[in-house]
Amino acid sequence: MIRNTLLFLAVVSLAACGAPESTTTATSDTAPTTSTAPAGDQSVTLYSGRNEKLIAPLLQQFTQKTGIKVEARYGETAEMAATLLEEGARTPAGVFLSQDAAALGAVTKAGLAKPLPEDVTSRIEARFVGPDRKWAGVSGRARTVVYNPKKIKPEQLPQSLEDTGNRRYRGRWGVAPLNASFQSQMAVYHALNGPEALDRLLKSMVDNQPRRYPRNGAIVDAVASGEIDWGLVNHYYAWEAKKDRKDLPVENFFMPKGDASSLVNVAGVALLSDDPDAVELLRFLVSDEAQRYFAEKTFEYPLVSTVQPVTALQPLDQLRTPDIDFARVSEVLPETLSRINASGLSRN
């Protein structure tokens, strides 16, 4: 026993020996910042939580137009946000392009985001700009119900999130519980209606035996094949699927109730340095050219009034989006996730 105890002591004291030097350094968040690239060096570092295939061609257009080189790092939005929080003011990044508003809220809350210039935010509809102009959406994705018009009529579809628990849908609908957009939708519901209401909603969903899918795309496939009648997705997946097969029996339905059921999530940007090249990149992302790119390539909603979404999308101004602060959503999200986990929705 003595040897065992000694071993433990040795391990603990070693760990402790290692601690002091790094402790001081790890907590000295107040050290002077050296991160900002020298102004006007014709290059900017972008942390992109959006995929390279989608973003790289757009960045090429930007470089061609302005001569400013973009050093782009690609990663998962949440992990990039975590990295930014650990880097603090020492980040080499000039711009953070995030897949969702929650990550932008977290970066803002940590005091890393600088106010966006007026000429950038004034282009974007006010409800998609963060408090104090610390972030702005650049493209929108609406939560919708994708359905198979051969199997079900729009008037038979759920009119609200609560309606998904209606018994007539039992076993005939789909959800992707691990998908970040679904989770945001639940977090918005949580923020608007409180934890008890969220638990009730989740329970009614679980009781209604949804089919679980790993991602939104799989739901659209299952709807098209008739395996399920409808599923909860982002609006552009049906468009993606129809790009190659126009006759695919999948349509979007926008739940009329409003609030979390007609959530429009945004992918957006935060400014992390004073580099004028970074600001130039932001200006480009809200330009007509870039906004048209989002509309045509990803079927997302452009967020500037001068560019229209691709046809047959319900116009953005007709969607009764919930009036909610996304920083608040990112605050409740962890609890939302653990409630989703506890409900059994993400398990089979």
Partner 1 sequence: MSERRRARVSAFTKASALAIAAFISLPLVYLFVRAAEAGSDAWRLHLLTWRTVELLRSTAGIAIAVLALSILISVPYAWLVSRTDLPLRRFWAVMGALPLAFPSYIAAFTTVSILGPRGALATAIGRPLPEIAYGWSGALLALGLFSYPYLYLLLVATMKGLDPALEEAARSLGKSPGEVFIRVVLPQLRAPLTAGGLMIVLYTMSDFGAVSIVRYDTFTTAIYDAYRGLFDRTVAALLATVLALLTLVVLFIEWRLMRGIYHGASRTARRARKAVLGPWRVPALLFVGSVAAVTVVVPLVSIAGWSMHGAGSQSNPVEIANSLAVSAAAAIVCVLFSLPVALWSVRGRSAVAVAVERLTFAGYALPGIVVALALVVAATRLARPLYQTAALLVGAYVIRFLPEATAATRSALSSLSPLYEEAARSLGSTRFDVLRRVTIPLIRPGLLAGGGLVFLTAMKELPATLILRPTGFETLATRIWSETSVSAWSGAARPSLLLLVASIVPLWALVIRPVIGKNS
Determine the angle formed by the axes of helices 101-109 and 326-343, rounding to 10 degrees: 120
d(CA 200, CA 202): 6
Residues 86-125 that bind partner 1 (CB under 8 A): 86-88, 90-92, 102-103, 106-107, 109-110
Question: In whole angstroms, how close is the CB of 332 to partner 1 at the nearest point?
Answer: 9
Which of residues 144, 179, 287, 346 is near partner 1 by CB under 8 A?
Answer: 346
Q: Name which of 110 and 248 has its Cβ closer to partner 1.
A: 110
Looking at the Cβ atoms of 35 and 166, the one nearer to partner 1 is: 35
Positions 232 through 251 that interact with partner 1 (CB under 8 A): none
Task: Rule CB under 8 A: say whether 199 interacts with partner 1.
Answer: no
Q: Are 212 and 199 in contact (CB under 8 A)?
A: no
CA distance 110 to 37: 21
The answer to whether 88 and 29 have CB atoms below 8 angstroms apart is yes
Sole window of 1-9, 128-136, 140-148, 162-170 interacting with partner 1 (rule: CB under 8 A): 1-9
Q: Which tokens in the block code for residue 204?
A: 């009614």
Question: In angstroms, rounded to a whole number, what is the distance separating the alpha carbons of residues 129 and 286?
Answer: 12
Spatial distance between the Cα atoms of 89 and 111, rounded to a whole number of angstroms: 9
Residue 180 is inside which H or E element, if any?
helix 180-193
Q: Is 42 among the residues that bind partner 1 (CB under 8 A)?
A: no
Which residue among 17, 38, 155, 311 contacts partner 1 (CB under 8 A)?
17
Nearer to partner 1, 212 or 320 (CB): 212
Binder among 36, 61, 63, 75 for partner 1 (CB under 8 A):
75
Least gap, CB of 334 to partner 1 (angstroms):
4
CB contact at 8 A, 277 and 44 = yes
Nearest distance, CB of residue 283 and partner 1, angstroms: 22
Near partner 1 by CB under 8 A, which window of 80-88, 136-144, 248-256, 284-292?
80-88
324 near partner 1, judged by CB under 8 A: no
- CA 183 to chain centroid, in Å, comes to 10
Residue 209 engages partner 1 in binding (rule: CB under 8 A)? no
Rounded CA gap, 197 and 189, in Å? Answer: 8
**Options 95, 97, 142, 180; binder of partner 1; rule CB under 8 A:** 180
Contact call for residue 51 and partner 1 (CB under 8 A): yes
Name the token pair of 234. 């982002």
Tell which residue, 281, 320, 305, 300, has the closest CA to residue 60: 281
Stretch that binds partner 1, among 6-14, 195-203, 259-267, 303-311 (CB under 8 A): 6-14
Return the structure tokens found at 276. 């004028």
Cα separation, 163 vs 180, whole angstroms: 21
Largest CA distance in the chain: 77
Q: Which residues bind partner 1 (CB under 8 A)?
A: 3-4, 6-8, 10-11, 14-15, 17-19, 22-23, 25-28, 31, 34, 45, 51-54, 71-76, 78-79, 81-83, 85-88, 90-92, 102-103, 106-107, 109-110, 178, 180, 183, 214, 217, 227, 330, 333-334, 336-338, 341-342, 346-348
